[in-house]
A and B are shown apart, each in its own frame.
Chain A
Amino acid sequence: IMASDSDSDEDFVTYGTPLEPLEEGGPLKKPVPLHDQTVKDEKGRYKRFHGAFTGGFSAGYFNTVGSKEGWAPSAFVSSRQQKAEKHHARPEDFMDEEDFSEHGIAPREITTSQEFSSSRRDEAGEKARAISAQAALIPGDTLLEELIAPARSSIGVELLMKMGWKEGQGVGPRVKRKHESCKVYGCTLPPAGSEESEDDDEEFAPENVTFAPKDVTPVDFNPRLGVQGLGYRGLDPSLALLGHGTAEHIDLFKPQSETRNRLFGDTKSSSRRGGVVGQAFGVGALEDDDEDVYHRDSMSRYDTILGEEEPGDSLYGWTAPQQYTKKKVRSKDASYLGKILEGFTLAQKPLEEKTIFPPPCLPRDYRPVHHFRPSVDVSHLSGVSPALAEALRVSKGHMVKEEPQQAGRHQLDSGQRRALLGEDTLQGPSSVMELLRPEDRQRLLSFRNSSNPPSAKTSTPVSGHASQTSGKSAQVLPASSGLQQEALAAWRGIQTSSQTFKPFEKNPSKQARYELYLSRLKQGDNDALEQSLDPGMTEWERSREREEFVRASILYRPTSSSLSSRFTRAKDQEDDDSVEVSQDQEGDLDDKQSAVKMKMFGKLTRETFEWYPDKLLCKRFNVPDPYPGSGIVGLPKVKRDKFSVFNFLTVTESREAAGNFIHTQEALKSFNRQLLSAARNQTETKVEHTPTPALPALPASISSSDQAPGSKPEVVEEPSVQTSRRGSP
């Protein structure tokens, strides 16, 4: 029985019971003890096993033909009368279901019926089969199939015939015969003479005539069965056994056999005749007495080496003279390859030789050992006093890690190097700028300031003296000046006093300088960095601190206000910068309480959530599952939309936010104002004054109820409180 399950993609036919997948690493399963091993027959009854040599499975009831109730012989019925009518017994009548089963002697399985099998004689298929038969181990084993051909054609062929198909044609829609396409290479148009040929074609193929497609020889892919290499053909028995010439060389990798050639139309007449010859069959009149009935193969007929034999005398070995070996390499002779695979040709040009460069020679005294410079690891030093260790650690300055303490020779600019070497300053102009005329210089400078390129190429090496004394921003290194501009852009106009991050907390004076720098940045001061640095420090310290400040200010730039309001700070932080989201919830509750006090139950006091009852609960309540297919039980995880857009209404420091966001915020604010004014008009007449606590945010109940701005709101709030809170933007 073919058991192919249709719902899986793979149409596998499964026999037997699948083994459980091996679990690696798991404990080995105990083998099932003998007395627990049970066998059931196909009806699920237990079978008792007596052992393979003592009878196999028990049959019947305790090895009897009876049953639990006993055995009653069937009543005797005389078949005397029925003897006359010849009972036609088929072999199936004596078979049981085991014989009919899949592995029985008469399996009842689904096979292609004769009617649908394509056993029609078709030339192309035959050809393909003949080719494959040649490749088969026993040549000509399709002979029988060819001999016996059924008279009737298969149903597919009949159908095709009814559709107008004729033998020898291909299958498919009829096509117009293509014109003999003249191939044009390049861009030239086909010459005028080709028109005539087209006319000739149209004589043969008028426009309205279509032709059946050409028949195609089906490609026959025969799998490789052996373990031999590609192109191996094995011994041709006709050659090895029946071949005449003992002198003939047997080439296992002969490109094509003769029969194959014959099939493909190579009319190379073979002089040899096949067939069994020998004295046992008698020697025909036309045949010579043959001497090799008991043919003995000899190894001399086989190759012992790969490749052609040496030309000329075989005295030369691999120590042959130059011309012999050279010639062998240069020649295109590919005989050592044996059969060239189909579709491949020998290369005309030899491959370019790869030049291999030898590894460099090592110096004589090179030793492959690397010594690292000893580094002071403070944490691992045991003999150092803790105070010293702390001092060492602090002195590194914990913002700068990658910067070495002493800049290398290449990190110094020419002025510093000159100062180190004690050379005099060069006479003459130190900068290109000085060569320019003053008005040109002015123009250049103004141009540079207006465009403000971050990578200003004009910062030329300035003399060390000038940089130390002037303290202007012109001496800032080009890379850091770009960063500085970035920091300025990030901090300009930020009004918050919330300074949460203190990068230089260990060093209070440094931190104070940093904060000074930040405050100047907020004011938009271009010279913020230079002004906040300590003028009493050395130039090296100043440059380092400059670098650190710029980096810290960029790294810990204020997050855009829209983003920061989305995060809740830890509760135990002592700063008073509270987040609006939690207040909003409180305000929500306050609002509800005030609504309850005013007995305005309804929308203000009601909240509705999606709630997912358990499937079983619905079943027990005889109610269809309201959310079939959802795996959620209870309330979905996010109960309330904490971060609804209304939470942003109270955000004041939003000037640095993206312009797009400001637009939406403005729109919401105006909407909010409309809502409030409408609410005011409604409530001021009804409610005189209720001492409600301040409502810091709009209640979420409004946000949940989709109201148009003009419709009647249920807001009952203290308007004056609202406006005073909202007046700030």
Chain B
Amino acid sequence: MAFPQPRPQAPQIPQHLLRTIDCQQGAVRAVRFNIDGNYLLSCGSDKSLKLWSTSRGTLLKTYSGHGYEVLDADGSYDNSQICSCSSDKTVILWDVATGQVTRKLRGHAGKVNCVQFNEEATVILSGSIDGTVRCWDTRSRRYEPIQVLDEARDGISSLKVAQHELLTGSVDGRVRRYDLRMGQLHVDFISSPITCVCFSQDGQCTLSSSLDSTLRLLDKSTGEMLGEYTGHKMKGYKLDCCLSSKDTHVLSCSEDGHVYCWDLVEGSLSLKLPVGKAVVQSLSFHPTETRLLTAMEGRVQVWGADEKGSA
């Protein structure tokens, strides 16, 4: 069977607005896809966390229980649980179906910036402005964290988990990668306060955005810089960045109301997506498809590669 290989498609960029959701929960602090990208979570400044359907844009559930604005959220691999963190220094584990608080984890000394499940949702990792990452056990009834990672000298702004590795970005300008399998801590000095860190999808690189309006793609194993992406404005806000689902592009929020999209290899700006006039607070890339979520003020926008939203 000598069919020719299909021509590789040109990498697609989400540049068409598919839907705008008005969340009605104050300013949206963060927006996140769930594990398969069918749902999205929006963290509101009115202490609520909302679950939406991406395709239809309908509100499915509102989770209320936080005492202050919700800053980050993450869904478990089986969509049965949600964890969220808030300025009220707590991390809450929610039951998705009932909307009840399964567990309220107290222990951070300041507002909790970021939260993540591990792969099997057995551990919740939360990073706080108090400079610690706490590892909470979801399997036991213990209310104390399993371990507190207090190596950072300033607040933790972002953290990501990939398999056995934990990546944290801190305001002290360092990206720390905790390798559980090797039992090692790698500290990369970036100098400028880190706002967001990401693993690449292949797990070989780390992306970090910092307040010097620069994104840096570092080799995970050696710490050498593979790419640098500039042009956007990130001076004072904790804004998100991410990689596209196929590691072709690097995306970042900007304070000038755009989402900047660079080609990963060339480092050239391939798209400057106008979202609005205000600061683009948060963004999230679909885990498999070319689809992007952006959050600005009280709205969440869904972007796709073409008009129909089929891609």
Contact = CB atoms under 8 A, between A and B. Distances in A.
Given A617-B180, A620-B118, A626-B180, A601 B123 contact: no
Contact of A592 (B118, B189, B218, B228): B189
Which of A596, A597, A610 has the most chain B CB atoms inside 10 A of its CB? A596
B224 A633 contact: no
Contacts of A610: 183-185
A618 B225 CA distance: 30
B56 interface: no
A316 interface: no
Interface in A603-633: 603, 605-614, 616-618, 620-624, 626-627, 633
Given A593-B191, A606-B223, A635-B151, A614 B185 contact: no
Contact of A621 (B118, B186, B216, B225): B118
Interface in B187-218: 187-191, 216, 218
B191 A633 contact: no
Interface in B117-133: 118-120, 122-123
A275 interface: no
Nearest to A625: B183
B219 to A, nearest CB: 8
A609 B187 contact: yes
B147 A601 contact: no
Contact of A613 (B180, B223, B224): B180
A64 B23 CA distance: 73
Contacts of A634: 147-151
Contacts of B123: 617, 620-621
Contact of A633 (B137, B147, B180, B189): B147
A608 B186 contact: yes
B135 interface: yes
A634 B191 CA distance: 24
B164 A606 contact: no
Nearest to B123: A620
A103 interface: no
B178 interface: yes
A624 B182 CA distance: 9
B146 interface: yes
Given A601-B224, A605-B189, A605-B223, A616 B146 contact: yes
Contacts of A614: 135, 146-147
B222 interface: yes
A624 B181 CA distance: 7
Contact of A605 (B146, B151, B188): B188
B139 interface: yes
B122 A599 contact: no
Given A609-B185, A613-B180, A617-B123, A602 B223 contact: yes
Given A602-B222, A617-B135, A621-B123, A607 B190 contact: no
A596 B193 CA distance: 13
Interface in B282-302: none
A611 B228 contact: no
A602 B224 contact: yes
Nearest to B149: A634
Contact of B191 (A596, A602, A618): A596
Contact of A606 (B118, B181, B182, B186): B186
Contacts of B147: 613-614, 616-617, 633-634
Interface residues of B, number: 36
Contact of A626 (B137, B182, B225): B182
A427 to B, nearest CB: 85
Contact of B178 (A602, A607, A611, A633): A611
B180 A621 contact: yes
B135 A596 contact: no
Contact of A611 (B118, B139, B184, B191): B184
Interface in B129-188: 135, 137, 139, 146-151, 164, 178-188
Interface residues of A, number: 32
A596 B214 CA distance: 12
Contacts of A601: 188, 216, 218, 223-225
A635 B178 CA distance: 11
Nearest to B164: A623
Given A613-B178, A620-B118, A620-B122, A606 B146 contact: no
A622 B190 CA distance: 31
A602 B179 CA distance: 18
Contacts of A612: 183
A602 B225 contact: yes
A593 B188 CA distance: 12
B224 to A, nearest CB: 4
Contact of B146 (A592, A602, A617): A617
A725 B216 CA distance: 35
B188 A606 contact: yes
Nearest to B222: A602
A599 B223 CA distance: 12
Contacts of A633: 147
Contacts of A626: 180-184
Nearest to A622: B120
A626 B151 CA distance: 19
Contacts of B218: 601
Chain A CB count within 10 A is highest, among B137, B218, B223, for: B223
Contacts of B118: 620-621
Nearest to B163: A621
A595 B180 CA distance: 28
Given A596-B191, A601-B218, A606-B186, A620 B139 contact: yes
A606 B187 contact: yes
B119 to A, nearest CB: 8
A590 to B, nearest CB: 11
A635 B185 contact: yes
A505 B224 CA distance: 58
B116 to A, nearest CB: 12
Contacts of B191: 592-593, 596-597
Interface in A346-384: none
Contacts of A627: 183
A621 B123 CA distance: 8
A616 B138 CA distance: 12
Contacts of A592: 189, 191
Nearest to B178: A611
Contacts of B150: 634
Contacts of B180: 613, 617-618, 621, 623, 626
B225 A599 contact: yes
B134 to A, nearest CB: 11
A610 B180 CA distance: 10
Nearest to B118: A621
A593 B173 CA distance: 10
B160 to A, nearest CB: 14
Contacts of B184: 608-611, 626
Contacts of B189: 592-593, 595-596, 605-607
A624 B164 CA distance: 10
A101 to B, nearest CB: 42
B238 to A, nearest CB: 20
B222 A606 contact: yes
Contacts of B151: 634-635
A167 to B, nearest CB: 69
A609 B139 CA distance: 29
Contacts of A605: 188-190, 223
A620 B224 contact: no
8 contacts: A593-B191, A599-B225, A601-B225, A611-B184, A616-B137, A617-B123, A620-B123, A621-B164
Given A601-B225, A606-B186, 18 more contacts: A592-B189, A599-B225, A605-B190, A606-B189, A609-B184, A609-B185, A610-B184, A616-B146, A620-B120, A620-B122, A620-B146, A621-B123, A621-B180, A622-B164, A623-B181, A624-B181, A626-B181, A635-B151
Interface of A: 592-593, 595-597, 599, 601-603, 605-614, 616-618, 620-624, 626-627, 633-635
Report the 9 A-B pairs with minimum CB-CB distance, sorted nearest first. A626-B183, A606-B223, A611-B185, A601-B225, A602-B224, A614-B147, A605-B189, A620-B122, A596-B191
